[in-house]
């Protein structure tokens, strides 16, 4: 690009003109922090402390056991699920909140394998992407062993060609956690269905980040995470969806009492609930689910302002901005974006590959010390799996000036080699 | 018994002399509530609101992603697990907090079946009790189908005789949720081992309620609930234990990333963590686990006062008292205790079977209206499975006068037939 990069004033003007800007007031952001890690843990909604307090002190402390009815605990999985449904192209009643993403993946991948192989017993392959998030691969490995199937891992560009009659289930995370590359859910689902395979979509980096249309894509099963772009708090419960054509006649192996057709008759025999309630298992995390609702509400607040489509437009403007700013202001340092330049293939993050001479871990530590919080994702240092500086954009609270400021700090850390200071060299347990 | 029943003054004297009485100050009890339902949902520790607030507002809101290290989120499953271990006869490192009781049962029952059948492939039976808590039976039904095993359900007195070489796993809840009858863990474990079977113990109504000695009994696997006698809050995470002889070499099927040997290297292949960490699955519920810690701490506070043994002695005195009081003051109404009279066979509750002419649901509603909160557990109305009035005792906060007062209200509700009022007749969704 030959146009001059935007100045900070230009960015401030963009913020001033941004109709989504008031949504930032929904959050309590710690002073001095430029938070670009909402794809790892979303920021706290300002309503969360009071909600947590009300659940603990009033609903539990005063209501005690009566709150299962009087405070609506018993319908929380459905109530919060219905709100999430609005963000992912699902209908009311199609999403329930439960357990963790990993546990929910176990449920739906097991259901999908059972269904696919009931229709075509010879199909043995779960097809996925080699750089899918590890927990997805681990759960798939377990179920593959149990079902006599095999997990086939390929590069993203090989997925379409490897989708054939051997495949029982295509299991993909829509947006890659490392690169931010986004799959075309509708196209890949259609292609999977054309060869008789089912699809399981992990929306961990999609829900609340990009417009998702599960029913529009005709997908089969989906799961997603509560604590990233949904701003649900650390370890927030996850969610699970199945297309209406599957929900009512597929059992899943985690047949706990909350998924029973009539949990409080205490029957001896399991009888799955109608529809998605059968994807519940044990007693749900009431406090966690209540706080998650605060996070989901921050996204629903965007609905009058254009909803996920408007958030998406801003997200792309933010990631375009960081790419242009890095290109213009950090060019000497050899950072290379591994995030697709094409909007249609990009999620809501930008990941920059570090050249061999740059210690990406130390660079990120130096950024964090100056209040710019992204994260570092180690690779093996090869061009295929480079070490990454990862920055997530949450248009609910990320401003254009934040992106400009972050690149200013990055350029300064690189130009001054500040990252070489010894205090940045040590690896922590979690980065 | 021919001795006169204790008066309320006698009970007040017992409370005044009770060295455990100060432990009640650890809880915030709603005024006007005589809470005898801690076996369904424990009372809120007074520390819980501030802890929830600190986790939400400081650790999440201010610390954000850094709190995985700085606030110790990453080691919470082990830290709280080590505290629970002290209550159940386990060693440090042997208990982790994770997921729900149902999900944890899936893990350990699967592990136990795999192990048992690796040693003796012909064994096909999971032996359990017909009136085990339903979620245990549902999970066992699912795993039995998956492993080509069968779930055999018997009456409690038949367990010992049905334990033979056909049995792969004996799966029992130590204290029955309906009757409060307690199994002899050491004796049944020894008998199971004598025929080559493994044991899975559900401690839902044991942990924090009675002294449990998992290692002393030589048990194989155990799980337990956080929100009953551990006072961990609604939907609190559960815990899981495996004997050291199994923990390190048994994989479980919910192979999520938090159970990986090195979660943050993001390996493509699952490699289970050493020891019990492999029983973790997805990202843990940080808020729920933090609040659970407050509950567990209320039990550890009893350690200088004699710990679980002292709590057990008080619990038995409380249940003895209610049995004697009901016998003396409600004799005309045909209530019959289904809870064993023998201390060695009794948990920390008393369940009273209703004669056909008494609508137990309405009786409990009438009690609750007067502030006496127990719960109603429907049966089928037969002598084998009667409708029950269920009262749980939590010696941390239940006083002798509470028991006396509860029976006073019960006697009055029965004597005046107050329960026949129309407002008590309607069944709510959760009782």
Tokens at B396, concatenated? 């941390």
pLDDT tens-digit series, residues A288-309: 999 999 999 999 999 999 999 9
Sequence-ordered alpha helix ranges (H) in A63-130: 67-70, 76-85, 101-119
* Residue A274: pLDDT band with limits 50, 70, 90: very high
pLDDT at B427: 57
Q: Fold for B8-46+308-424, please state it.
A: 3.90.1150
Asked if A27 is an active-site residue, the reply is: no
DSSP per-residue letters across A22-41: GGGGGB-PPTT-EE--TTTS
Residue B428, pLDDT > 60, answer no
d(CA B316, CA B62) in angstroms, rounded, equals 46
Residue A110, pLDDT > 50, answer yes
Please provide residue B254's backbone torsions phi and psi, each rounded to the nearest 5 degrees.
Answer: -85, 70
d(CA B418, CA A33) in angstroms, rounded, equals 62
- Whether B112 contacts B193, CB under 8 Å: no
Compute the half-sphere exposure of residue A206: CA atoms within 13 Å on the CB side of its CA: 26
Looking at residues A101-129, what average pLDDT do you find?
A: 96
Give strand pairing partners of A170.
A127, A199
Tokens at A392, concatenated? 């997530």
d(CA B200, CA B124) in angstroms, rounded, equals 16
pLDDT, averaged across chain A: 96
Residue A3, pLDDT > 50, answer yes
pLDDT at A316: 98
* Residue A430: pLDDT band with limits 50, 70, 90: very low
pLDDT at A427: 57
pLDDT tens-digit series, residues A151-188: 999 999 999 999 999 999 999 999 999 999 999 999 99
- Whether B77 contacts B111, CB under 8 Å: no
Residue B1, pLDDT > 70, answer no
Among residues B35, B133, B229, B239, the one annotated as catalytic is: B133
B130 to chain A: nearest residue by CA?
Answer: A268
**Contact A373/B at CB under 8 A:** yes
What is the distance of C-alpha B139 from the center of its chain?
A: 17
Closest chain A C-alpha to B4 CA, distance in angstroms: 34
Which of A28, A61, A233 has the CB atom closest to B28's CB atom? A61
* Residue B333: pLDDT band with limits 50, 70, 90: very high
d(CA A286, CA B73) in angstroms, rounded, equals 19
Sequence-ordered alpha helix ranges (H) in A96-241: 101-119, 134-147, 159-162, 185-194, 214-217
Residue by residue, what is the 3-state secondary structure of A235-259? Answer: CCCEEEEECHHHHCCCCCCCCCHHH
* Residue A248: pLDDT band with limits 50, 70, 90: confident
Residue A318, pLDDT > 80, answer yes
Identify how many contiguous H helices and E strands chain A contains and give both numbers.
Answer: 14, 13
Residue A73, pLDDT > 80, answer yes
pTM exceeds 0.90 for this model: yes
Looking at residues B27-37, what average pLDDT do you find?
A: 97
d(CA B392, CA A8) in angstroms, rounded, equals 64
**Contact A425/B at CB under 8 A:** no
| CATH tag, A72-300 | 3.40.640.10
**Contact B234/A at CB under 8 A:** yes
d(CA B258, CA A270) in angstroms, rounded, equals 29
**Contact A73/B at CB under 8 A:** yes
What is the distance of C-alpha B198 from the center of its chain?
A: 21
Contact at CB, B64 and A37, closer than 8 angstroms = yes
Contact at CB, B56 and A137, closer than 8 angstroms = no
Closest CA to B186 of B164, B210, B153: B210
pLDDT tens-digit series, residues A76-97: 999 999 999 999 999 999 999 9
Contact at CB, B138 and A270, closer than 8 angstroms = yes
Give strand pairing partners of A240.
A96, A223
Among residues B24, B178, B377, B390, the one annotated as catalytic is: B390
Closest chain A C-alpha to B254 CA, distance in angstroms: 6
* Residue B430: pLDDT band with limits 50, 70, 90: very low
pLDDT at A431: 40
pLDDT at B2: 54
| Contacting A residues, span 173-202, partner chain B, CB-CB under 8 Å | none
Query: What residues contact residue A270 under an 8 Å CB cut-off, 6+ apart?
Result: A255, A260, B134, B137, B138, B141, B142
- Whether B414 contacts B360, CB under 8 Å: no
Residue B431, pLDDT > 80, answer no
| CATH tag, A8-44+308-424 | 3.90.1150.10
Contact at CB, A64 and B43, closer than 8 angstroms = yes
Closest CA to A75 of A284, A291, A292: A284
Looking at residues B265-279, what average pLDDT do you find?
A: 93
Closest CA to B174 of B138, B140, B200: B200
- Whether A391 contacts A322, CB under 8 Å: yes
Contact at CB, B286 and A49, closer than 8 angstroms = no
Residue by residue, what is the 3-state secondary structure of chain B? Answer: CCCCCCCHHHHHHHHHHCCCHHHHHHECCCCCCEECCCCCCCCCECCHHHHHHHHHHHHHHHCHHHHHHHCCHHHHHHHHHHHHHCCCCCCCCCEEEECCHHHHHHHHHHHHHHHHHHHCCCCCEEEEECCCCHHHHHHHHHHHHHHCCEEEEECHHHHHHHCCCCEEEEEEECECCCCCEECCHHHHHHHHHHCCCEEEEECCCCCCCCCCCHHHHCCCEEEECCCCCCCCCCCCCEEEEECHHHHCCCCCCCCCHHHECCHHHCCCCCCECCHHHHHCCCCCCHHHHHHHHHHHHHHHCCHHHCHHHHHHHHHHHHHHHHHHHHHHHCHHHCCEECCCCCHHHECCEEEEECCCCCCHHHHHHHHHHCCEECEEECCCCCCCCCCEEEEECCCCCCCHHHHHHHHHHHHHHHHCCHHHCHHHCCCCCCC
Among residues B24, B83, B117, B228, the one annotated as catalytic is: B228
Asked if B83 is an active-site residue, the reply is: no
Give the three-class secondary structure for A105. Answer: helix
Contact at CB, A64 and B33, closer than 8 angstroms = yes
Please provide residue B167's backbone torsions phi and psi, each rounded to the nearest 5 degrees.
Answer: -85, 125
Residue B29: count of CB within 10 angstroms of its CB: 17
Compute the half-sphere exposure of residue B255: CA atoms within 13 Å on the CB side of its CA: 26
Closest CA to A200 of A97, A123, A116, A120: A116
* Sequence spans of domains, chain B: 8-46+308-424, 72-300
d(CA B55, CA B286) in angstroms, rounded, equals 8
Asked if A415 is an active-site residue, the reply is: no
Residue by residue, what is the 3-state secondary structure of A271-320? Answer: CECCHHHHHCCCCCCHHHHHHHHHHHHHHHCCHHHCHHHHHHHHHHHHHH
Closest CA to A100 of B97, B225, B281, B252: B281
Looking at residues A16-37, what average pLDDT do you find?
A: 97
Contact at CB, B102 and A254, closer than 8 angstroms = yes
pLDDT, averaged across chain B: 96
pLDDT tens-digit series, residues B214-244: 999 999 999 999 999 999 999 999 999 999 9
Contacts of A30 in chain B (CB under 8 A): 61-62, 64
Contact at CB, A134 and B266, closer than 8 angstroms = yes
Tokens at B88, concatenated? 């159940």
Closest chain A C-alpha to B373 CA, distance in angstroms: 9
d(CA A195, CA A254) in angstroms, rounded, equals 29
d(CA B351, CA B338) in angstroms, rounded, equals 6
d(CA B178, CA B130) in angstroms, rounded, equals 12
pLDDT at B382: 85
Closest CA to A295 of A231, A238, A235: A231
**Contact A431/B at CB under 8 A:** yes
Asked if A133 is an active-site residue, the reply is: yes
d(CA A178, CA A157) in angstroms, rounded, equals 16
- Whether A234 contacts B67, CB under 8 Å: yes
**Contact A351/B at CB under 8 A:** no
pLDDT tens-digit series, residues B193-212: 999 999 999 999 999 999 99
- Whether A286 contacts A73, CB under 8 Å: yes
Tokens at A304, concatenated? 């009058």
Residue A428, pLDDT > 70, answer no
Residue with tokens 């994260």: A375
Give the three-class secondary structure for A170. Answer: strand
Which of B68, B142, B286 has the CB atom closest to A253's CB atom? B142
pLDDT tens-digit series, residues B285-331: 999 999 999 999 999 999 999 999 999 999 999 999 999 999 999 99
pLDDT tens-digit series, residues B344-394: 999 999 999 999 999 999 999 999 999 999 999 999 888 888 999 999 999
Contacts of A240 in chain B (CB under 8 A): none
Residue B2: count of CB within 10 angstroms of its CB: 3
Closest CA to A284 of A65, A67, A69, A77: A77
Looking at residues A190-211, what average pLDDT do you find?
A: 98
Percent of chain A exceeding pLDDT 70 equals 98
Looking at residues A366-374, what average pLDDT do you find?
A: 97
Contact at CB, A256 and B135, closer than 8 angstroms = yes
pLDDT at B380: 85
Closest CA to B284 of A137, A103, A109: A103
Asked if B27 is an active-site residue, the reply is: no
d(CA B339, CA B346) in angstroms, rounded, equals 7
Give strand pairing partners of A35.
A373
Among residues A27, A35, A221, A227, the one annotated as catalytic is: A227
Indicate which of A283, A286, A369, A387 best probes the interface with B, i.e. most B CBs within 10 Å of its own CB: A283
Contact at CB, A135 and B286, closer than 8 angstroms = no
* Residue A429: pLDDT band with limits 50, 70, 90: very low
Contact at CB, B102 and A141, closer than 8 angstroms = no
């Amino acid at each position: 690009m030959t146009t001059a990069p935007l100045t900070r004033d230009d960015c401030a003007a963009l913020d001033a003109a941004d109709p989504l800007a008031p949504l930032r007031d929904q959050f309590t952001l710690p002073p001095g922090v430029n938070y670009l890690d909402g794809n790892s843990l979303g920021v706290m909604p300002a309503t969360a402390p009071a909600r947590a307090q009300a659940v603990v002190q009033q609903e539990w402390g005063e209501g005690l056991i009566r709150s299962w009815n009087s405070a609506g605990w018993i319908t929380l999985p459905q109530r919060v699920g219905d709100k999430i449904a609005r963000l992912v192209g699902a209908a009311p009643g199609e999403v329930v909140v439960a357990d963790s993403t990993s546990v929910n993946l176990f449920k739906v991948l097991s259901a999908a394998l059972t269904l696919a192989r009931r229709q075509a017993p010879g199909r043995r392959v779960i097809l996925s992407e080699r750089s899918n998030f590890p927990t997805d691969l681990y759960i798939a490995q377990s179920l593959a062993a149990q079902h006599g199937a095999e997990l086939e891992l390929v590069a993203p560009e090989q997925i379409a060609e490897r989708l054939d009659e051997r495949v029982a289930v295509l299991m993909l995370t829509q947006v890659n956690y490392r690169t931010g590359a986004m799959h075309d859910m509708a196209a890949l689902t259609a292609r999977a269905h054309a060869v008789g395979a089912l699809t399981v979509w992990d929306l961990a980096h999609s829900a609340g980040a990009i417009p998702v249309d599960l029913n529009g894509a005709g997908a089969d099963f989906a799961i997603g995470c509560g604590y990233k772009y949904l701003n649900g708090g650390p370890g927030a419960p996850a969610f699970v969806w199945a297309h209406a054509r599957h929900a009512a006649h597929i059992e899943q192996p985690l047949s706990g009492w909350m998924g029973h057709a009539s949990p409080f008759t205490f029957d001896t025999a399991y009888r799955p609930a109608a529809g998605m309630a059968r994807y519940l298992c044990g007693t749900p995390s009431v406090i966690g689910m209540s706080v998650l609702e605060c996070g989901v509400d921050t996204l629903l607040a965007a609905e009058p302002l254009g909803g996920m489509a408007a958030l998406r437009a801003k997200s792309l403007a933010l990631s375009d901005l960081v790419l242009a700013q890095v290109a213009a202001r950090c060019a000497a340092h050899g950072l290379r974006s591994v995030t697709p330049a094409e909007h249609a293939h990009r999620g809501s993050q930008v990941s920059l590959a570090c050249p061999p001479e740059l210690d990406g871990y130390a660079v990120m530590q130096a950024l964090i010390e100056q209040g710019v919080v992204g994260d570092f994702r180690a690779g093996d240092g090869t061009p295929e799996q480079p070490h990454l500086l990862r920055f997530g954009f949450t248009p609910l609270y990320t401003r254009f000036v934040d992106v400009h400021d972050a690149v200013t700090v990055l350029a300064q850390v690189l130009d001054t080699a500040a990252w070489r200071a010894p205090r940045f060299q040590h690896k922590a347990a979690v980065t």
